[in-house]
Each structure stands twice: as C-alpha cells, then as structure tokens.
Structure 1
Amino acid sequence: MKNLGKLSETEMEVMEVIWDLATPVTVKQLLDIFDSKDWKTSTVSTILKRLIDKGFLTKSMNGKVNFYEPALTWSEYKKYETQTFLHRLYNGKVKNFIAALVDDNELSQDDIAELKEWFVRKGGKK
C-alpha cells in the first residue's frame, strides 16, 4: 500500500462519513451532513483537496459536479494504520506490542485466555 499522509481529526471525521456512505459524495452532501458545524463550501473543498493530496480520496466530474470517493476502504486504512503503528513503536513486531501490554498489566487473565482461544481458532498452537 502506498504511503498515506496523516489525517487530522477533522479529516478523519470527514473520511468516516464518506466510508459510511459507501458512494461518491459531493461538497453539497457533506455540507448538509455537517450542517451543525456551519462550514462554508470553501472549507469543505479545502478538506477534500487535502484528502486527495494525502491519498485518501479520488475526484471525478459528472457535468459540473465533482464527486469524491475513497481511494481505499475503511478496512484497508485500519490495516495501514496498524502496520504504521507497529513499525513506528514496536519494530514491526506484534509480539513486542503484546509484550508491552502484558508487562504493563494492560491485559487481564481473561484477555489472555480469550487471545489464546482466538489463536487456536485461527490455526495457532496452544
């Protein structure tokens, strides 16, 4: 997967809406959805341009209307962010992440038992 830009809180909020809609969206639709924020057309357009520049959206035109759609799915984004997180903080190793949780007492015995059962179901060994 390509290297994506980092999402601001507002950009993430917009992307979540676009992912939920699962259909190309227009600036007008987003203005209606975010009506309570009192954003102007230029504000939404700027956010969308940044999302395109960061690799999250693509833009197409139908007549005089721009349509925006995700360049990746929500699932693909979660996978990307998880891998980025693991590489940045845990040398890319899930074991290092889990060890940090265990060492900091963030996992209860129930959590550990649940994880063991999950690994067994996924084909791991006890």
Structure 2
Amino acid sequence: MSEKPKAAFILGLIAGILGLLFGIVVLVASSILATIFIGFGGPLILIIGVWWFIAAILIIIGSLWINSGIPSKVRRGGILVLVFSILSLPNWLTCILGLIGGILALVWKPSMQPTQPSQQPPEGEQAV
C-alpha cells in the first residue's frame, strides 16, 4: 500500500463537509428571509450560500485527489483545497481547516523506497 497524506486528506474533507453544511444552512436561511422580507437581502444571502456550496464541493474533490497518493494529483488537490478554502471566506472554520489541509498536501513528499542492491558474486567467482 502506498503512502498517502492522511492528515491533509482528513482536514480537507472535514473542511468540505462543514462548508456543505454551512452552505445548506445559508441557503435555507435565505429562502426563509426571502419569504419574510421580500427583496431585503435574500438574493445576496442566496448567492453566498450557493458559492459556499460550490466551493465546498470543489474542496471535497481536491481532498479526494489528495487521497490518491500520486504526487502530481496530491499537489493539484492541495492547490484546489487551498484556493477554494480562501475563497470560502467569511466561513472561517472551513477556511482554516482547508488552509491547513492544503498546505500539508503541498509540502507532502512521498517516502523513497530503498532500492535493492544487485547481488553480484565476489571477485573470482562466477554466477550460476
């Protein structure tokens, strides 16, 4: 089994799930506000909720790329988590967890597997 950046994956996934939950709460709140106060802040809150929802989905996708363990996908996933965590402000919890997860993914390096030295016979002997 290959080594994977588990902490980066878990933090990014938690950030994405929390972002989804916050996005859903904001969408529900905006629909309630739109029915109570027609035209008073409802559309703006709706846009924020939709944006948080989209950003959270992209954070989760980035986290899944991080979990692949392939260095190029881990790097792309880390960048995706990092960028959309920053863009999910003012959702502070998602932002902080995503920032930490994205940075951990960007600094992760797979461990090098030791190579097997070739078995050469000592001088003067022939290989069978």
TM range (shorter): under 0.3
The structure showing larger relative contact order (alpha-carbon pairs under 8 Å, at least 6 residues apart) is: 2
Q: If each structure's strand is expressed as a fraction of its own residues, which one has the higher value?
A: 1
Structure label with greater radius of gyration = 2
Q: If each structure's helix is expressed as a fraction of its own residues, which one has the higher value?
A: 2
Q: TM-score, normalised by structure 2?
A: 0.24
